[in-house]
Chains A and B, each alone.
With several copies, the nearest count.
Chain A
Amino acid sequence: MSETHAQTVPFVRDTMLPPADPPVREAGAVRWLRENLFSGPLNTILTLLGGLIVWFLVSHFWDWFAHSVWNANSLAECRQIIAETWGEGARGACWAVIRERWNQYVYGFYPVELYWRPTMTFGLLFVALAPVLFSESVWIRRVVLVITTVLTLWLMVALGAPAAWLVFAAVVLVGAILISERHPAWLLVFSILYPLLGVWLLWGGSAWGPIMVLVGPVLGWIAWRLLGRVSSLIATIVALIVPLVWWIVFAGDAARDAESLVSLAIPAVDSDRFGGFLLSITIGVAGIAMSLPLGIVLALARRSDMFLVKTLAVIFIEFIRGVPLIALLFVASLLLNYFLPPGTTFDIILRVIIMVTLFSAAYMAEVIRGGLAALPRGQYEAADALGLDYWKAQRLIVLPQALKISIPGIVSTFIGMFKDTTLVTFVGLYDPLKSMSDAVRASTSWKGIYWEPYIFVGFIFFLICFCMSRYSMYLERRLHRDHR
C-alpha cells in the first residue's frame, strides 16, 4: 500500500481488492443475538422482560389450551372428561361447544337445508369484488378466484345444494375465472348485479322483485338515450325520475304479476332467522356497498364551492361522526318509526343497515376526500381544458384515481364497520359475539361456558380483519411503487 501524499505521488491501484468476509463476531447467529436481543444493557433488560411476559402468558394459558376437549354434549361432560384425562382439578378448554354450535355461530337460525345459499352468496361476493379489489394483479385475481371456486363448490356440495344450483354456481364461478383472464373489466357488470342477486339468494322469495328493481335503471337509461338528442339536461332529469316512478308506482305490481305468470321463487327466509357471522357479514357488506356511493357524493359535496351544498355535507358528516354508532342503532330501533309516515314499519335488519350505511358513509366521505385532495390540480385542469363537464370529469378522470388512492382507507373503514356489527346485539339482533353466545349459554347444557365462545368468535374476527388489513397494506405498497 503506498503512502498517499497529495503533493508527491499520484496513486493508481493496479489490482482490485476482492471483497473479504467480515470479522467473525460480525456474522452468524451470535451476531444476530447480539444485535437483536443483547446489544446493550437496556436491550438486555428489555429482552428479559419480554421473555418474562411470554413465559407468563404461556405458563398460564398453555395447560388450558393443551387440555382441549372437542367431543362432548355438555359442559358437565366436558369437565368430566378433563378430570378423567388430566386428573382432578385440571383446567381445560371445552371446544365441544363450538363443534356442536358452529352452525349457529356461522349461520344463525338460517334453515339448515338452505345453508348452501348464504355460502354461495358469500362465494360470489369474491367474484363481485374481483374487478374492484383484486384488479392490481392478474396473478392475485387468479388465485383468489380459483380458491373461491373450489371452496364454494365443495362447501355447496357438502351442504347439499340442489344440482341445478351447483351448475349455476359452477357456471358463474368458472365463467368469472375465464372472463377475468381476458376482460377483467367485464366482471364489473357482475359486481353491479351482485347486490340484487345477493339479496335474492339470502332472503329468497320471487326473483321478479330484484328483476323489476333492475328494470328501473334500464328504463332510465333508455329514456336518457332517447332524450339525449333533444337536451342532455332534460334527459338527465327524466333518466333520474323514470326509475323512481317505476320503483314507487309500478315495480311491486309488475313483480307480482310476473310471478303469477312465471314463478321464479325460491323458499323465502325471514330476517329473524339471520344471526351469527351471516348477520355480521350481511350488514357489513350491505353497509359498505351502499356507503361507498353515498360517501362519494358526500365527499364531492364537501369539496364543492357551493356554500349551501358544502355546509350541508359538513353538518351531516360532523353530526354522524360526532355520535357513537350505538346511539344511531338505538335511533334505528327506537326512533326511526317516528320519522316515517304513521303505520310504516320495516325490517329491523334493514333499519340497522341504513344506520350503519349512514355511519360509515360519513367516515368514507372523509377517506375519499383525502383521496380527492391528493389528486394534483393539473388533472382537473386538463379535464376542463379538454371540454369535459363536471360530472364527466369526475367520473372519468377524478374518481377512478381518487378511489384507487383511497382503497387502503376504504378497507380500514370497512374493517372498523365489520367489527362494529357486533353492536347490533344491543338492539336485539343475534350478533355472533354476545347475543349468540348468550343464546348458547341460555341452554342448560352449556350454561357457564364463557371463554371458548369468545375466543372462537374473536379468532374468526381476527382472521377476517387481519387478512383484509394485510391485503390493503399490500395494495398501498403497490400504489406507492406505481406512483413513483
Chain B
Amino acid sequence: MQVSDEVAIDIRNMNKWYGNFHVLRDIDLTVHRGERIVIAGPSGSGKSTLIRCINRLEEHQSGHIVVDGIELTNDIKNIDKVRSEVGMVFQHFNLFPHLTVLENCTLAPIWVRKVPRKQAEATAMKFLEKVKIPEQAGKYPGQLSGGQQQRVAIARSLCMQPKIMLFDEPTSALDPEMIKEVLDTMIELAEEGMTMLCVTHEMGFAQAVANRVIFMDQGQIVEQNEPREFFNNPKSERTKLFLSQILGH
C-alpha cells in the first residue's frame, strides 16, 4: 500500500449550489495517487454530490477541480478525458439491463477507447475473473443476484482501466450476505494500489483499507484523519455523535 507524492485529485475552494441551496461549501481536498479515502457523514451532507462533482456528473459553480492534471471546466474534451480516467460505481449498480454482462463490460472500451472487440472481451473476462464471476458473462444483469450485479459494475468500471475509482455507497443496496463479497472485491482492488474514493458506512472496511477518513456535514469537510485516530479519537463533537450512532447500532 504505497502512496506516492503525485497528486491525483486536487479540489480547491470548491462551492456548489442546487438553486439557492448551498450543498458544498469551500471544499479543499487533495488526493494522492494510491490513496484510499473513505468519506462518511450523515445523510444529506453532500457526500454523493462531492464525488459526483469529481467526474462532472454534477457541475460545480466556483473553485477548481483538477483531476489527473486536467481541470474540469465546461470544456467537453476535458470532461471526456477525465471521465475515461475515473471509474464510478453506484449504489444501485446501474447496469444496462438490455446488454449481457460481457457487453456491459465491453461497451465503453469499444465505443470510447476504440479497443478492438476481441481485445475488449479478453480484458473484460480478465476483470470478471478478478471479481470472481467469469461464468456469468453471457447472462443478463436481471438474472444475477445483487452482489453479483455490483461486482459486474465494478468490473465494468475497471475495464476502462481507470486511474481513480469512485464508489458511492456500493454496498448499501445489498442484502447482508452479499455485502461481504463486494467488500472483498474492493479490498482486493485497494491492495493493488488503486486510488479510491469511497462513500460508505462500512466502518470495518474503512479501518481495513483506508488511508484517510473524511467526515462531512452540511456540505463541509468537518474532520479528516487516518482511520485509527478517526475512530478511536474523534476530535469534533459532530463526529463523535455520528460515530456513536453508527457504531452503537
Q: What residues of chain A have their CB less than 8 Å away from a CB belonging to chain B?
A: 1-7, 10-13, 16-17, 19-23, 26-27, 376, 378-379, 381-382, 384-389, 392, 396-397, 400-401, 404, 482-483
B220 lies within 8 A of A17 (CB): yes
A4 lies within 8 A of B29 (CB): yes
Smallest CB gap from B109: residue in A = A386
Could you tell me the distance between the alpha carbons of A229 and B203 in the complex, rounded to whole angstroms? 48
User: How far, in Å, is A35 (CB) from chain B's closest CB?
Assistant: 10
| A-side contacts of B218, CB under 8 Å | 16-17
| B-side contacts of A22, CB under 8 Å | 17, 19-20, 22, 61
B71 at the interface (CB under 8 A from A): no
B98 lies within 8 A of A404 (CB): yes
Q: List 13 A-B contacts (CB under 8 A).
A: A6-B3, A7-B3, A11-B223, A12-B223, A16-B220, A17-B220, A19-B219, A378-B93, A381-B57, A384-B83, A386-B160, A388-B108, A396-B111
| B-side contacts of A23, CB under 8 Å | 61-62
Could you tell me the distance between the alpha carbons of A16 and B107 in the complex, rounded to whole angstroms? 44
Could you tell me the distance between the alpha carbons of A25 and B242 in the complex, rounded to whole angstroms? 37
A13 lies within 8 A of B25 (CB): no
Known pairs A22-B61, A385-B88; A12 contacts B236 (CB<8 A): yes
User: How far, in Å, is A27 (CB) from chain B's closest CB?
Assistant: 7
Q: What residues of chain B have their CB less than 8 Å away from a CB belonging to chain A?
A: 3, 13, 15, 17, 19-22, 25-26, 28-30, 32, 35, 37, 55, 57, 61-62, 76, 80, 83-84, 86-88, 90, 92-98, 107-108, 111-112, 142, 156-157, 160, 211-212, 217-226, 229, 235-236
User: How far, in Å, is B232 (CB) from chain A's closest CB?
Assistant: 12
B92 lies within 8 A of A378 (CB): yes
B22 lies within 8 A of A1 (CB): no
A396 lies within 8 A of B97 (CB): no
Q: How many A-B residue pairs have CB under 8 A?
A: 126
Could you tell me the distance between the alpha carbons of A23 and B61 in the complex, rounded to whole angstroms? 8
A19 lies within 8 A of B25 (CB): yes
A389 lies within 8 A of B98 (CB): no
Further pairs besides A11-B221, A385-B157, A388-B111: 10, Cβ < 8 Å? A10-B226, A12-B222, A17-B25, A378-B90, A379-B94, A382-B96, A386-B112, A387-B83, A387-B112, A392-B111
B225 lies within 8 A of A385 (CB): no
| B-side contacts of A16, CB under 8 Å | 217-218, 220, 222
Could you tell me the distance between the alpha carbons of A243 and B96 in the complex, rounded to whole angstroms? 33
Could you tell me the distance between the alpha carbons of A385 and B37 in the complex, rounded to whole angstroms? 20
| B-side contacts of A384, CB under 8 Å | 57, 83
User: How far, in Å, is A398 (CB) from chain B's closest CB?
Assistant: 10
Could you tell me the distance between the alpha carbons of A1 and B156 in the complex, rounded to whole angstroms? 38
| A-side contacts of B142, CB under 8 Å | 482-483
The 3 closest A-B pairs by CB, nearest first: A382-B94, A378-B94, A19-B22
| B-side contacts of A26, CB under 8 Å | 17, 61
The one of A6, A13, A379, A404 that contacts B223, using a Cβ cutoff of 8 Å: A13
A386 lies within 8 A of B83 (CB): yes
Could you tell me the distance between the alpha carbons of A246 and B207 in the complex, rounded to whole angstroms? 66
The one of B28, B84, B94, B220 that contacts A387, using a Cβ cutoff of 8 Å: B84
Could you tell me the distance between the alpha carbons of A382 and B62 in the complex, rounded to whole angstroms? 25
B57 lies within 8 A of A27 (CB): no
Could you tell me the distance between the alpha carbons of A386 and B96 in the complex, rounded to whole angstroms? 12
Smallest CB gap from B210: residue in A = A6
* Max count, chain B CB within 10 A of own CB: residue among A1, A382, A386, A404: A386
| A-side contacts of B94, CB under 8 Å | 376, 378-379, 381-382
User: How far, in Å, is A310 (CB) from chain B's closest CB?
Assistant: 20
User: How far, in Å, is B157 (CB) from chain A's closest CB?
Assistant: 8
B160 lies within 8 A of A387 (CB): yes
| A-side contacts of B86, CB under 8 Å | 385
A20 lies within 8 A of B111 (CB): no
| B-side contacts of A389, CB under 8 Å | 76, 80
